[in-house]
Structure 1
Amino acid sequence: MTEVGFSEALEDWVDWDQAAYELGLSLGVLTADVPFSKSKRIFWEDNPAGRALHATLLALVEAGLLESRNDYEEFRWVSTTFLNVFDD
């Protein structure tokens, strides 16, 4: 299985639960061995991990790295620069 980075996985609009799954994969808290279709309950049931992943997506929107539409139902990557590249 080829690993895809978070920014690549969100090149196009994806639903919030898929975005949270991709974030979990990139953080190493989810395994790609369990597909998204079998991982959905993490995001659809009320639990701290699912809420934290969603809150992180919202924080990335606030930071300008992601954009959202449809009342935070879909997300995509928008950042074109690295945070640690400075013009000094």
Structure 2
Amino acid sequence: MELKDVLADWRDYDDAAFRLGIFLGVFPPDQKFNWVKPMFWQDGYPVGDMLVDILDRMAEAGVLLKDEEDVRYKWNPAPIDLS
């Protein structure tokens, strides 16, 4: 499954970061979200910060859409402007 399929619908930032982590191999495919959820909600977890930072950078590049109010992400269905 491609990341664009995983993030096809709006996902809260922690769930989107978790799914990105699975996609990148940071977490095993059978990892339970509840076991790693604190790393997205508490300070001091560099891996959680890194994954959310990647989501933000993907949104800045136009790959993802970001809903600032609800802090959630989804794949941008529009083609990226490479100009």
- Scaled by the length of structure 2, the TM-score of the pair is 0.82
Q: How many residues align?
A: 81
Give the C-alpha shift of residue 70 in structure 1: 3.5
Q: Which protein has the larger Cα radius of gyration, Structure 1 or Structure 2?
A: 1
Which range is displaced more, 50-59 or 39-48?
A: 39-48
Counterpart of 1:42 in structure 2 is 39
Any residues of structure 2 matched to 1:61-80 within 5 Å, and which? 61-71=59-69, 73-80=71-78
Match of 1:6 among 3, 7, 28: 3
Q: Whole-Å Cα distance in 2 between the matches of residues 68 and 27 of structure 1?
A: 20
- Scaled by the length of structure 1, the TM-score of the pair is 0.78
Percent identity (aligned): 34
Q: RMSD of the alignment, in Å?
A: 2.2
Following TM superposition, the consecutive aligned residue runs of length 4 or more in structure 1 with deviations greater than 4 angstroms are: 79-82
Q: Structure 1 stretches of 5 or more lacking a match?
A: none
Q: Structure 2 stretches of 5 or more lacking a match?
A: none
